[in-house]
């Protein structure tokens, strides 16, 4: 009986330790680092307990070793060379490389049309619309998210100087209204906000955006689940 009670006490202490660890993890501050640039693409990191975890893009895996089939290597099983009398003549339809290429291209087009790839399209208006649906508890959750170190650089290039100036003015108005609405739901702290008229077009492709989102892990988890559900309902993903 004493041994059984000792085992039970050990199990209880282990469960209490795991519960304490889970509670500490959920209450720990977590920072998500997000960014995009025209030159490097999209990237995302998570920092928790001072450790940075890379989420995207994934590190390239090591290349697999190629199997040595020529020379001393063994041929794969099931690969049997057809006898010469069964090979088709060069002029036959089955051995025509052009017809084979056409059939392959047609097959690829048919496969793409049959199963179109679903793209992820998330605009500033979509984010504002999703945040606008938050109320009560979710409004408090979103308000607990601190979006800081926001850096925006967007060169604007038009057909001529007048078109470029008009485009910059329109973009300033649209982004100003959208960001003003988002500040009703999020704590936004900008480190850089620059819309540059690119009259020569030399800065094309140098646009970038980055930000850090800090909150407790439990708040971040609730916000992510809620955002995914809203994005699914609005057919964004």
Query: Could you read off the pLDDT of 144-179 as tens digits, one per residue?
Result: 999 999 999 999 998 899 999 999 999 999 888 888
| Contacts of 58 by beta carbon, 8 Å cutoff, 6+ apart | none
Burial of 47 (0-12, 13-18, 19+ CB in 10 A): middle
Does the reported pTM lie above 0.95? no
User: Phi/psi at 9 (nearest 5 deg)?
Assistant: -65, -40
- Would you give the distance in Å from CA 56 to the centre of its chain? 7
d(CA 33, CA 202): 28
CA torsion sign for 6, 8, 13, 14 is positive
pLDDT at 65 > cutoff 50: no
Mean pLDDT, rounded, for 32-56: 90
DSSP run (H or E) holding 97: helix 97-114
pLDDT at 212: 95
Residue range 68-118, pLDDT digits in tens: 445 545 545 555 555 544 444 444 444 555 555 555 555 554 444 444 444
pLDDT at 215: 93
Contact criterion met (CB below 8 Å) for 154 and 194: yes
Closest CA to 121 of 222, 3, 7, 231: 231
pLDDT at 156: 92
**Opening angle at CA 54, ends 50 and 56, nearest 5:** 150
In DSSP terms, 44 is beta-bridged to 34, 56
Mean pLDDT, rounded, for 25-34: 90
């Amino acid at each position: 009986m004493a041994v059984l009670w000792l085992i039970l006490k050990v199990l209880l202490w282990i469960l209490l330790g795991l519960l304490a660890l889970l509670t500490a993890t959920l209450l720990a501050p977590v920072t998500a680092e997000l960014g995009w640039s025209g030159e490097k693409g999209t990237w995302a990191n998570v920092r928790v307990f001072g450790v940075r975890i890379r989420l995207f893009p994934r590190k390239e895996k090591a290349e697999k070793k190629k199997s040595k089939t020529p020379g001393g290597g063994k041929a794969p099983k099931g690969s049997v060379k057809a006898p010469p009398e069964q090979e088709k003549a060069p002029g036959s339809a089955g051995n025509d490389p052009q017809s084979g290429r056409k059939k392959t291209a047609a097959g690829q087009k048919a496969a793409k049309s049959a199963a179109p790839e679903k793209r992820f399209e998330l605009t500033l208006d979509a984010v504002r619309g999703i945040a606008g649906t938050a109320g009560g508890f979710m409004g408090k959750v979103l308000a607990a998210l601190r979006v800081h170190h926001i850096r925006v650089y967007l060169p604007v290039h038009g057909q001529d100087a007048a078109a470029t100036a008009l485009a910059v003015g329109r973009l300033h108005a649209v982004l100003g209204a959208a960001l003003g609405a988002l500040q009703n739901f999020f704590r936004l702290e900008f480190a850089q906000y620059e819309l540059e008229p690119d009259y020569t077009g030399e800065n094309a492709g140098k646009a970038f955006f980055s930000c850090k989102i800090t909150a407790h892990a439990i708040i971040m988890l609730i916000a992510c689940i809620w955002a995914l559900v809203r994005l699914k309902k609005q057919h964004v993903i």
